[in-house]
Amino acid sequence: MNKNNFFSFIEPQRRAIENLIKSALEEDKAFFDITTRVLLKNKQASANIIAREDGIISGCFIAEMVLQIFCSPDEKWDVSYKVTDGEKIRKDQVVMAISAPLFSLLATERTILNFITKLSGISTITRRFVDIAGKYGVKVRDTRKTIPGMRYLSKWAVICGGGTPHRYDLYQHILVKDNHIMAVGSFEEVLSRLANIKKLNPWVEIEVEVSSLDEFNKAVNDDFIDIIMLDNFSIDDIKKALEINKRRKKIEVSGGITLNNLEAIAALGPDYISTGYITPVSYTHL
């Protein structure tokens, strides 16, 4: 993983990530680990984090951030990385070595592992999607279906898996979904309003979700639309939409995408396939 990409992505969110880590440590009452306090002397100790299965690693930097927050200024600690984010790891491979005061090490281990295993799980399942879709030149995108507070970390994990993050928040670009259409009253009225928006803000990217070929036919000829999302289309209707499109618009396919139907959809040749499957439930073991 390119180091510059890492810093450009993570550094603007450093404070938010630190607050998330603090919240996780407080949730675990890590500073008040009574078991470790009553049983063990606080001597210097070391430990390895070892992978329990093959996968793609992500979130290694979390270990360093956790110890930075948890340890007092006079305590000595060190994290030695054996791999970097985005690398393939094998079962029983040492991912990193940590040296720290024993209390700090034992009190923070679960917080560190919770973050890294979750993010590595996202990276691992994303890579499986990317390996299949990539054979057809199709990019895999995530969605906003992320654990609250974990948005940027989850999207970093998607990048480590080779995926292409969709919008990070509701501000990034216009994405009209079925709820917007129902609220406005008609698809035609939505298109009319979008045309006016594009005139006033030609820089804004506009994506429209369509749920039928009829809506697709109404959207495909409009110059102000950049991307059309085919939501829960059948294989036959995706094929028809792509034939009608003739590469005029970027086409994104979404809704019910799993490893079982991914290749059949990717083989049709859309520009993107987006799925929430890769972010909310994926997990790996360390």
What are the tens digits of pLDDT across the range 8-18?
777 888 999 99
Tell how strand 227-231 and strand 88-89 pair up. unpaired
CB 32 within 8 A of CB 106: no
Q: Report CA-CA distances (Å) from 170 to 51, 143, 157, 159, 262.
A: 36, 11, 20, 20, 27
**pLDDT tens string 37-89:** 888 888 999 999 999 999 999 999 999 999 999 999 999 999 999 999 999 99
Cα torsion at 222, 225, 227, 231 (round to 10°)?
-70
pTM: 0.91
Cα–Cα distance, 278 to 58 (Å, whole number): 14
Q: Report CA-CA distances (Å) from 89 to 4, 86, 95, 161.
A: 22, 9, 8, 12
**pLDDT tens string 163-213:** 999 988 999 899 999 999 999 999 999 999 999 999 998 999 999 999 999
Cα–Cα distance, 221 to 145 (Å, whole number): 30
The C-alpha angle 224, 267, 87, rounded to 5 degrees, equals: 95
